[in-house]
């Protein structure tokens, strides 16, 4: 997996935004909450997982509990972008997205769903017809 493939996958998920933060990390968010982080140097990726998957992943080579107390919330960090096969990496990123989206308030989830369902607003020009 590469940073570009991770980015493409994450941005293909509904309502995802990205932001560079802490000068060297690209964060992917849904509803303003992060679900994946990649190091811009191209060497690591962090994401959230279920408690069961967390226990399994941290036993694997090149996958460690995420730093900064994020491990308390079942975040892991792949120390290499080849720590998982690409298909499984995508699954883990999608699972992280689903976990974080499900933890958004009902109001936030409803707003995301409403924005997806409403047609784009027509642009109004500043001109008036005479």
Reported as a single tens digit per residue, the pLDDT across 28-51 is 999 999 999 999 987 899 999 999
pLDDT value for 118: 57
Contact of 27 with 34, CB cutoff 8 Å: yes
Tell me what the pLDDT averaged over the chain comes to: 88
Question: Residue 73 has what pLDDT?
Answer: 85
pLDDT value of position 123: 39
Q: Name the pLDDT band for 129 (thresholds 50, 70, 90).
A: very low
Q: What is the mean pLDDT of residues 74-96?
A: 96
In the DSSP assignment, the letter for residue 31 is T
End-to-end CA distance of the chain: 58
Contact (CB, 8 A) for 45 and 10? no
Give the mean pLDDT of 52-66.
95
Q: Is the pLDDT of residue 125 over 90?
A: no
Task: Give the domain ranges of the chain.
Answer: 3-104
> Which band of pLDDT confidence, cut at 50, 70 and 90, is reported for residue 117?
low
**pTM (2 d.p.):** 0.84
Q: What is the b/e burial string over 2-19, where b = at least 16 CB atoms within 10 angstroms of the residue's CB? A: ebeebbebbeebebbeee
Tokens linked to 72: 């308390």
Range 68-79 burial, b when 16+ CB lie within 10 A, else e: eebbeebbbbbe
Q: Which fold has domain 3-104?
A: 3.90.1150
Kind plus residue range of the DSSP H or E element containing 19: strand 16-21
């Amino acid at each position: 997996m590469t940073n570009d493939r991770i980015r493409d996958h994450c941005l293909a998920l509904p309502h995802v935004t990205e932001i560079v933060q802490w000068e060297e990390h690209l964060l992917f968010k849904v509803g303003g909450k992060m679900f994946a982080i990649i190091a811009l140097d191209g060497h690591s990726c962090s994401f959230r997982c279920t408690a069961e998957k967390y226990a399994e992943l941290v036993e694997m080579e090149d996958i460690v509990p995420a730093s900064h107390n994020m491990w308390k919330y079942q975040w892991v960090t792949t120390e290499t972008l080849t720590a998982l096969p690409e298909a499984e990496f995508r699954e883990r990123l999608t699972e992280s997205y689903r976990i974080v989206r499900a933890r958004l308030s009902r109001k936030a989830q409803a707003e995301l769903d409403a924005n997806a369902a409403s047609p784009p607003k027509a642009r109004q020009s500043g001109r008036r017809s005479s």
